Amino acid sequence: MTTVEESIDVAVPVSTAYNQWTQFESFPQFMGGVESITQTSETSNHWITNIGGVERVFDTEITEQHPDERVAWKSTDGTSHAGVVTFHRLSDTDTRVSVQLDWDPETFIEKVGSVVGADDRQVKSDLKRFKAFIEGLGAETGSWRGNVDAPPTASAPTTSTSTSGLAAAPESDPAMDDPESGGPRAGF
The pLDDT tens digits for 22-41 are 999 999 999 998 999 999 99
Write down all domains in the chain, each with its CATH number in brackets.
Answer: 2-184 (3.30.530.20)
pLDDT in tens, 37-72: 999 999 999 999 887 788 889 999 999 999 999 999
Listed in order, strand segments (DSSP E) in 80-133 are: 81-91, 94-103
**Helix 118-137 / helix 108-115 crossing angle, nearest 10 deg:** 80
Burial of residue 139, with CB atoms counted within 10 A of its CB: 0-12 exposed, 13-18 middle, 19 or more buried: exposed
